Amino acid sequence: MELAKEIALLLKASCGKEVKEASVRQLYDATAKAILLHVEEDWQKTKNADQKRCGYLSAEFLIGRLIYANLLNLNLMQQVKEALASFDVDINVFEEIEDAALGNGGLGRLAACFLESAATSGLPLDGYGLRYRFGLFKQTFVNGFQNEEADDWLKWGDPFSRRVLEDAQIVHFADMDVRAVPYDMPVIGYDSKTVNTLRLWQSEPIESFDFALFDQMEGQLTALNNYKATEITAVLYPNDNTQKGKTLRLRQEYFMVSASIQDVMKKFRQKGLPWDTFPDYFIFQLNDTHPTLAIPELMRLLKQEGLSFEEAFEICHRSFNFTNHTILAEALEKWPVAQLKELIPDVYEQIEQLQHHLEQNEFSVAIIKDNLVHMADLAIAVCRHVNGVAQIHTNILKEETFKDWYAICPEKFVNVTNGVTPRRWLALNNPLLALEITNRIGNGWINDLSQLHLMKPYVDDPVFLKRFRQIRLENKKRLQETILKQEGIFLPTEFLYDIQIKRLHEYKRQLLNALGILYLYNEIKSGNLPDFKPTAFIFGAKSAPGYYMAKAIIKLINTIAHKVNGDPLVGDKLRVVFVSNYNVSYAEKLVCAADLSEQISMAGMEASGTGNMKFMINGTPTIGTLDGANVEITEEAGIENNYIFGLTVEEVEQVKQHYVPSAVLDEQPKLKKVVESLIDGTLSDDGSGMFQAIYQHLLQTDYYLVLADFKSYIETKLKANAEYDTSMYYRKCVANMQASGKFSSDRSVLDYNALVWHLK
């Protein structure tokens, strides 16, 4: 029981307590420190290895709760279970530890999966981001409205982080200087000696206490300066509906990249090599447009080293690669020239030079347009490679979003389909299914998910299908207990669990799902669906604080839930719950308990999605459009094993040319009744006007074709409902699981390495 002794000693050293006196938090900290001791040697060796490294620059790293994933990857889970059991402590007590609030949606979760997969695959990939004090926000519901509270996840500290003050950097703005202090986390791979680093920057004042100002009775000014410095890393994505919020976002983005670029340049300087060899040792992957200012920042700093514009440009070209995650115009960042000039004039000067370079070379595409700097264009102009994150998404980038760039430099564009780590999203979150798989094909699938194809013979094995059903019920029971405890709503496990969990955005069409529930509610009440199998609709999502329509949809779903759950006439057929404060740890329980995975974005809008992959790996069929990675999921598992509906990308373009939403309602009176219920008193928005806004949007524009796809959606949903809990249904479940090998993030990072990074 060496581990038990280690934990007890670390506990005594850190807080002077015996195990029986310690709180869960204190025990967690001691266990985390024991894990760090086990990886310290490999971590230092990886850091000091003389090899080319890639810095993964991202505004988000949605890492969740680390302790269980790290124990699994180190093969220490059983040892720690036994060590804690010797103290009469169940390892599951750590479930009360908060998730790290370092991200929001798929962008951040993808970054976390990639770092873990790179470490597993032995690739030197380090993450660079920000250490948000309060994350996005902690979500609660008040009368069905989203309420945002500070997510103070660091109030007890973070035992997996190490403050490295000697590597602090100074970041210069036109109006202030700020200290960037790095906190390092080890990134532990599965059964791997590679331990990479996630380096997160915390903003701090240069001097936390200015004695001269204090002596002059100017203590308030000191406090104000300190606040301006620390607010840079206070929250993820400040509300940019105000000028102050926009300025803070720009500060965040520049702060992150300036500190990171300075850090890497410092490491390179220690090698004593000429600057033109920099890309042979350090390269960067830009995870969406947020870190794009890294390009002009590196140019600026290289020119300070005495390099010419042409030399600096060539180094930047060889050093940077760009992942695009969206075709949404509002998500392709554009910064006002005046704002950049005011806040970071030296950096803007480099952007102007890049623009001049494009003009001199007679490029048909500009970086600066209408007094706005287009960050995606800046990235594409300089980066060596640009990638989309699913084949359909990459095709849209080439043919539509960036078609002018593709005409100029087609060789830059590559596709790397997203993936998820099978350690967290099957081995850890679904241990019963993982064990059944391992008992049949061995455990090689854990770091080579393609081996799941060996489960293909079990698609038609009645014994395995029966066991799969039992495991699903066990997972549903665990989720049932969590939802009852967290939300106060009881969901019978015999119900079909229909789950939609993702960021709240109009293009993801949670509204389509909500209107579908209202339709089913009306039909059940009217006696038109006597054979409808009981269904629980489960949502999890956060809306950006300033996104009015998304918040209106949350209010609508919660109002529908209140109506449905309070109606005894449908209680044996329908339940609805919107789980609060959806995060990685909640997702782990939801994904393995789902009977139907909702992936219903308007075709052509979802770049890839990773939630769809998590459900697939756990054996959940998709109800979805042919969008994002859904296309590749159906190619791998077979369209017949999923529930595909709706307009295709090509059909969307055709329909939009002559689309009249009200005409759809005239043709479908039952749908019209559903939509009218938004304003006829059936549902109350508590005087907010939100439901009227949704109604007006649907009738006037319906930009995301909710009404156009509704009939197909309901027909497909009823088909899935009819097949649920039959041998045909469970056959589809296992068919999806065994075909999911492509969607491992291990495959993704190896693709990046082969096509883009060329690390050894």
Name the residues annotated as catalytic. 325, 502-503, 508, 610, 614
Q: What token pair was written down for 310?
A: 């042409």
**What's at 541, amino acid-wise?**
A
Q: Which of 342, 284, 344, 343 is nearest to 316 (CA)?
A: 284
Torsion angles phi and psi, residue 687, rounded to 5: 75, 10
- The length of the chain, given as a count of residues: 760
Burial (CB count <10 Å: 0-12, 13-18, 19+), residue 382: buried
Q: Which two tokens stand for residue 93?
A: 């007590």
Containing 373, the helix (H) or strand (E) segment is strand 372-374
Q: How many CA atoms lie within 13 A of 272 on its CB side?
A: 0
Rounded Cα distance between 330 and 334, Å, is: 8
Q: Among candidates 189, 186, 202, which has minimal Cα distance to 32?
A: 186
Residues in Cβ contact with 364 at an 8 Å cutoff, skipping those fewer than 6 apart: 404, 407, 408
Number of helical H runs and strand E runs in the chain: 31, 21
Cα separation, 730 vs 596, whole angstroms: 11
Nearest-angstrom CA–CA distance, 91 and 81: 6
Instruction: Show the beta-strand stretches assigned E in 107-244.
Output: 125-130, 138-142, 145-149, 162-163, 169-172, 177-188, 195-204
- Tell me how far apart the alpha carbons of residues 636 and 626 are, in angstroms, rounded to a whole number: 13
Q: How many CB atoms lie within 10 A of CB 753?
A: 18
Give the list of residues 6+ apart from residue 718 with CB closer than 8 angstroms, or none. Answer: 529, 532
Count other C-beta atoms under 10 Å from residue 194's C-beta: 20
Q: Is the dihedral of CA 99, 100, 105, 108 positive or negative?
A: negative
C-alpha span between 140 and 558 (Å, rounded): 12
Which residue intervals of 618-758 are DSSP H helices?
A: 630-637, 649-657, 661-667, 669-676, 690-700, 706-723, 727-738, 745-752
Taking Cα atoms as reference points, which of 116, 129, 118, 110 lies closest to residue 260? 129
Neighbours of 430 (CB within 10 A): 25
Distance CA 248, CA 59 (A): 14
Please report where in the chains the tokens 């005495």 appear, as a residue: 306
| Cβ neighbour number for residue 673 with a 10 Å cutoff | 15
Q: Output the six-digit token pair for 725.
A: 């809990």
Non-local (6+) Cβ contacts of 19 within 8 A are: 7, 8, 11, 27, 87, 89
Q: How far is CA 245 from CA 231, 281, 340, in A?
A: 11, 37, 14
Helix (H, G, I), strand (E, B) or coil at 49: coil
- 476: tokens are 């549903």
Other beta carbons within 10 angstroms of residue 360's beta carbon come to: 8
* C-alpha span between 255 and 45 (Å, rounded): 29
